[in-house]
């Protein structure tokens, strides 16, 4: 897998279109931060980081994952990956645009961590635009 963020977004998009209540993605720090932003912006119901396997012995060697509870009725109409491993898209603080006239948001990786486009504009921080959601 070359792009774990695209994989996460695709899993969420597919699960929502299929009518699933939860989706499971492999755990990483950036995916956990993305999940926090999606929950804060009310695009998902909840999320939790877990270990595969019930016993302590299995949890030690088991895989870690994030279980994301999707919101219904669906509040996301689209998720679009902007910056990719083959083509990074960076933007300065003054060049950050709104998404769908304010009906969506973008997630930007700044020196202070992941932020929405509104938060980055307010903090006068630019960075890499990871994805847009509306």
pLDDT (0 to 100) of residue 125: 98
pLDDT of 59 above 80: no
pLDDT (0 to 100) of residue 60: 56
96, 117 Cβ separation under 8 angstroms: yes
DSSP string, 83-133: SBTTB--EE-GGGPPPBGGGTBEEEEEETTEEEEHHHHHHTT--EEEEEEE
62, 51 Cβ separation under 8 angstroms: yes
> Does the CA dihedral 45-49-51-54 come out positive or negative?
negative
For residue 13, which of 23, 3, 28 has the smallest C-alpha distance?
23
Domains of the chain by residue range: 4-70, 79-133
Non-local CB neighbours of 122 within 8 Å, separated by 6+ positions: none
Peptide bond connecting 73 to the previous residue in cis, omega within 30 degrees of 0: yes
pLDDT of 94 above 60: yes
Q: The domain at 4-70 falls in which architecture? A: 2-Layer Sandwich (3.30)
pLDDT (0 to 100) of residue 31: 98
**Top-tier CATH class for 79-133:** alpha beta
The pTM assigned to this predicted structure is 0.90
């Amino acid at each position: 897998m070359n792009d774990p963020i695209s994989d996460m977004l695709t899993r969420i998009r597919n699960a929502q279109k299929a009518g699933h209540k939860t989706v499971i993605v492999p755990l990483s720090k950036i995916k956990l931060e993305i999940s926090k932003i999606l929950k804060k912006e009310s695009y998902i119901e909840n999320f939790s980081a877990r270990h595969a396997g019930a016993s302590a012995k299995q949890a030690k060697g088991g895989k870690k994952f994030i279980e994301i509870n999707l919101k219904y009725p669906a509040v996301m109409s689209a998720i679009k990956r902007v910056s990719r491993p083959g083509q990074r898209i960076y933007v300065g603080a003054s060049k950050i645009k709104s998404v769908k006239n304010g009906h969506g948001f973008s997630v930007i990786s700044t020196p202070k961590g992941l932020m929405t486009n509104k938060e980055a504009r307010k903090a006068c921080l630019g960075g890499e635009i990871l994805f847009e959601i509306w």
